[in-house]
Amino acid sequence: MEQERVIEVLKEKFEGEILQIETHYDFLTLSLKKDKIVEIIHYLYHHPDTKFQYLTTLSGIHYPDLNQIAVMYQLHNLVSNQRIRIKTYLPADNPVTKTLTPVFLSANWMERETYDFFGVRFEGHPDLRRILNVDEMIIFPLRKEYPLEDQTREDKNDNMFGR
């Protein structure tokens, strides 16, 4: 019911930006084009029927088969206790998108984390550098092309552990 209203509000102004609308476990998930993502979130922030004024999380997802990196936003309306998820897809070779910091200051560290682990560059971010990993790291470790195990470890072999 309320989810339909959110879709209506979005379609009023940004009909052409919607790629896909899904509901996973009652969680409305919108896939949108990347160009106007900041305007859309700004619009949903201020519209009286949506008021998504709390950014729960912002993260990346690597889809190696599609050669794409998605940026996923989860928003929360604290009045009606309603949540939505918004995804935008970027090419994995050059993942660049606009920063959400003008709308949510809390996006600052989340975007730094997404840069740290997926290499997504957020244009206009005030201080885009690694936040959790060591500064000397040269890879983006949560991209699936990198092995999870530490490659410098020598003591693990099949003879000892039967893996």
Q: Which residues bind other proteins (CB under 8 A)?
A: 132-134, 137, 139, 141, 146, 148-150, 152-153, 155-156
Assess contact for 28 and 77: CB atoms under 8 A: no
Residue closer to other proteins (CB basis): 1 or 148: 148
CA distances from 148 to 50, 160, 161 (A): 40, 20, 18
Residue closer to other proteins (CB basis): 66 or 132: 132
Q: How far is the CB of 112 from other proteins (least distance, A)?
A: 14
Residue closer to other proteins (CB basis): 65 or 136: 136
Residue closer to other proteins (CB basis): 86 or 142: 142
Sequential DSSP letters for 81-135: TEEEEEEEEEETTS-EEE--TTT-TTHHHHHHHHHHHH--EEET-TT-S-SSS-T
Q: How far is the CB of 140 from other proteins (least distance, A)?
A: 10
CA distance 139 to 85: 28
Residue closer to other proteins (CB basis): 79 or 134: 134
Q: How far is the CB of 130 from other proteins (least distance, A)?
A: 10
Q: How far is the CB of 59 from other proteins (least distance, A)?
A: 17
CA distances from 50 to 13, 61, 97, 138 (A): 13, 26, 24, 41
What is the amino acid identity at position 74? Q
Assess contact for 154 and 129: CB atoms under 8 A: no
Q: How far is the CB of 96 from other proteins (least distance, A)?
A: 24
